[in-house]
């Protein structure tokens, strides 16, 4: 069976250098690390997790607390986390937090207390105060990704700015009858992402002199967006443009326009948020948020926290214009609800 001494001889270094190179810790040149890892791969040598944990006090494993595993966005984030952790010699363990209280208690009071992880990434999970207390009591480095609590450091997208970018894009094209489909409440949005997007939309519309713009509630699914968009399009003054709080909602709005025989973008412009992998296929204008890169940033941040460093900051977004948005077909006076002269 291949051992660490075999790898050391093949790479022409000491066993201690092999240990540092394969653990990712300690001062060592990139060239030496690459040579050691190549030798280990050629010999089929894999570091024993148990031995490494005994020697270093670390499990080389990061826990990721997730709300839903069946959403494309989270799947892409997780892929980014996993790929970056793997490149640094770390494994990833998922802990799914459902709405069931007993299941959540099991994660917090049993699974996370087994000492199998060196740090945690909390991905868009809404936690009660007592749940945050128990998570912090683990005394592990914790990094949030779009977390709904301010009690641990988190990477965030400026969701107000995201919503304003989408809304101002439609306003800039000449639309005035713009509706928003999303979720969230009208009060203080706090850190709730759907609420922040709704507030960003409302503030951009108010700044354009259009208060009380139409809003339709929907869950973040194609079906939810389809139902909400049909309701908006049945109004006496239907919108000429829709800002959807997610790309999946926006896809539903596109299907609703098709069902009503409307041309997109001539009769109805639609813009979404997220940067869905199917967005280009649908020609959807969107505010991309790069979920894979978000995952990589979260992995970098938790590894830095494990080493006692801080790599928390803002996450990028970018408006991607495609064929689902254009200037309204009719004159601006008619679009604003006034008869053309």
Specify the higher pLDDT residue, 329 or 144.
Answer: 144
pLDDT (0 to 100) of residue 70: 67
pLDDT (0 to 100) of residue 25: 61
283-337: pLDDT as tens digits: 999 999 999 999 999 999 999 999 999 999 999 999 999 999 999 986 433 444 4
Residue 133's Cα: distance from chain center in Å? 24
Q: Which two tokens stand for residue 176?
A: 């005035």
Residue 150's Cα: distance from chain center in Å? 17
Q: How far apart are the first and last CA of the chain?
A: 88
How many of the other CB atoms lie within 10 Å of CB of 76?
A: 21
How many of the other CB atoms lie within 10 Å of CB of 173?
A: 19
pLDDT (0 to 100) of residue 341: 36
Taking residues 88-95, report their average pLDDT: 92
pLDDT (0 to 100) of residue 58: 63
Alpha-carbon dihedral 220, 226, 232, 236, rounded to 10 degrees: 180
pTM of the model: 0.80
User: Could you tell me which residues come within 8 angstroms of residue 289 by beta carbon, excluding any fewer than 6 positions away?
Assistant: 157, 162, 273, 274, 275, 315, 316, 317
DSSP H or E stretch at residue 181: strand 178-182
pLDDT (0 to 100) of residue 337: 43
Half-sphere exposure (Cβ direction) of 339: Cα atoms closer than 13 Å: 1
Angle between helices 101-109 and 129-136 (to 10 degrees): 20
12-70: pLDDT as tens digits: 888 788 777 776 666 788 888 888 888 888 887 766 544 454 444 567 899 999 986 66
Rounded CA-CA distance 83/33 in Å is 18
Beta-strand relationship, 178-182 and 154-155 = unpaired
pLDDT category at 190 given cuts 50, 70, 90 is: confident
Q: For the chain, what percentages of helix, strand and coil (3-state, to nearest 5) are there?
A: 45, 15, 40
pLDDT (0 to 100) of residue 339: 42
Rounded CA-CA distance 242/325 in Å is 10
Specify the higher pLDDT residue, 223 or 191.
Answer: 223
DSSP per position, 119-143: EEEEES----HHHHHHHHTT---EE
Q: CA-CA distances (angstroms) from residue 63 to 36, 92, 99, 142, 260? A: 27, 6, 19, 9, 47
Specify the higher pLDDT residue, 6 or 131.
Answer: 131
What SS3 state is found at 182? strand
Q: Which two tokens stand for residue 61?
A: 């494993």
pLDDT (0 to 100) of residue 21: 79
226-246: pLDDT as tens digits: 999 999 999 999 999 999 999
Please write down the HEC assignment for all residues of 61-79. Answer: EEEEEECCCCCHHHHHHHH
Say how many residues make up the chain. 341
Specify the higher pLDDT residue, 165 or 2.
Answer: 165
């Amino acid at each position: 069976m291949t051992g660490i001494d075999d790898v050391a001889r093949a790479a022409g270094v000491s066993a201690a250098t092999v240990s540092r190179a394969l653990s990712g810790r300690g001062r060592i040149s990139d060239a030496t690390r690459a040579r050691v890892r190549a030798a280990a791969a050629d010999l089929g040598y894999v570091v024993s997790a148990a031995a490494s944990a005994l020697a270093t006090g670390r499990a080389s494993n990061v826990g990721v607390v997730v709300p839903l595993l069946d959403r494309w966005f989270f799947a892409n984030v997780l892929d980014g986390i996993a790929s970056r952790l793997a490149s640094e010699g770390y494994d990833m363990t998922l802990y799914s937090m459902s709405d069931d209280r007993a299941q959540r208690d099991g994660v917090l009071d049993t699974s996370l207390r087994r000492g199998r992880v060196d740090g945690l990434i909390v991905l868009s999970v809404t936690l009660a105060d007592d749940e945050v207390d128990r998570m912090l009591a683990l005394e592990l480095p914790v990094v949030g990704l779009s977390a709904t609590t301010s009690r641990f450091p988190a990477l965030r997208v400026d969701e107000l700015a995201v919503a304003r970018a989408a809304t101002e894009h439609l306003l800039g094209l000449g639309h005035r009858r713009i509706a928003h489909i999303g979720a969230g409440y009208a009060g203080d949005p706090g850190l709730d992402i759907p609420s922040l997007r709704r507030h960003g939309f409302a503030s951009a519309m108010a700044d354009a002199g259009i208060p009380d713009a139409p809003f339709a509630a929907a869950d973040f699914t194609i079906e939810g967006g389809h139902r909400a968009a049909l309701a908006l399009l049945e109004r006496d003054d239907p919108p000429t443009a829709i800002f959807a709080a997610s790309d999946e909602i926006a896809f539903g709005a596109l299907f609703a326009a098709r069902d009503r025989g409307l041309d997109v973008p001539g009769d109805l412009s639609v813009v979404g948020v997220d940067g869905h992998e199917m967005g280009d296929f649908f020609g959807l204008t969107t505010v991309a948020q790069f979920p894979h890169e978000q995952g990589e940033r979260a992995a970098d941040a938790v590894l830095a926290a494990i080493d006692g460093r801080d790599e928390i900051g803002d996450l990028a977004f970018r408006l991607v214009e495609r064929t689902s948005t254009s200037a309204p077909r009719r004159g601006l006076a008619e679009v604003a609800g006034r008869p053309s002269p």
